[in-house]
Amino acid sequence: MVLGFTAAAIAMLVCLIPAGLVVARGDLADAVVAYEFITAVVVMVLALLAQAFQRSSLFELPVLLALLMFGGGLVFVRAVERWL
Amino acid sequence: MARDVCADVLLGLAVAVVFGASLGVLLMRDAYQKLHFVTPAALFAPVLVALAVLVQMGLYENTGETCLALLFMVIAGPYLSHATMRAIRVREKGDWRPGKEPER
């Protein structure tokens, strides 16, 4: 385990707390922005944890989430624009 | 040793960028202003993390996969930000183009 990567992942997870507050308390537009922030940070956290633990099965997760972040984010934003 | 220090400095910078961006998302007034603070977390921090991984681990298969994920983020981030801003404007004004808003 590489300590620097683990520490950075934990620190980034702590940084999600303000965005979580915005999701919980803000209006819909603010929550969408905070959701995008959280998704971007979670991709980095997964990449950092995969590097920290050096298990080959963990390395696919950030790639998949990064792809899904783009597709899912666009669908969600379109839903916000038209229906929500 | 030098690799460790360099990687730790890059990771520290990435965490600082994400921390500042999270404060911006929390404290800014409206969604347009908040969206400006998503960009550092979606563009600069992944580049710093990818550099830290490259410095620490060197070039091998798992490093390539990590860099691929972070590259997807860097490419997707601006498109997603643009689409979000457009959607919020359409929600507020009815059309994203200035002067084309439907009369209410």
Average pLDDT, integer, range A4-24: 93
Cβ–Cβ of B87/A80 closer than 8 Å?
Answer: yes
Residue B43: inside a domain: yes
Q: What is the largest CA-CA distance in chain A?
A: 46
Residue B104: inside a domain: no
Residue B96: inside a domain: no
Q: Which range marks the domain in which residue B44 is found?
A: 2-73
Q: Kindly report the number of other CB atoms within 10 A of residue A57's CB atom.
A: 8
Q: How far apart are CA B80 and CA B97, in angstroms?
A: 18
Residue B103: inside a domain: no
3-state secondary structure of B21: helix
Provide the pLDDT for residue A82: 78
Provide, as residue numbers in chain A, all residues whose Cβ is less than 8 Å from the Cβ of B11.
Answer: 4-5, 7-8, 48
Q: How far apart are CA B96 and CA A46, in angstroms?
A: 35
Residue B78: inside a domain: no
* Cβ of residue B86 closer than 8 Å to a chain A Cβ: yes
Residue B101: inside a domain: no
Q: What is the dihedral of CA A42, A78, B71, A8, to 10 degrees?
A: -20
Residue B44: inside a domain: yes
CA distances from B100 to B83, B89, B90, B93 (A): 18, 12, 11, 9
The count of domains in chain B is 1
3-state secondary structure of A2: coil
pLDDT tens digits along B7-28: 999 999 999 999 999 999 999 9
Provide the pLDDT for residue B3: 86
Average pLDDT, integer, range A31-38: 92
Q: What is the largest CA-CA distance in chain B?
A: 65
Please give the residue of chain B at the shortest CA–CA distance from A37.
B38
Tokens of B98: 């200035």
Residue B46: inside a domain: yes
Provide the pLDDT for residue A54: 86
Reported as a pLDDT band with limits 50, 70 and 90, residue A1 is: low
B13: closest CA of chain A, how far (Å): 10
Low-confidence spans in chain B with pLDDT less than 70:
100-104
Provide the pLDDT for residue B62: 81
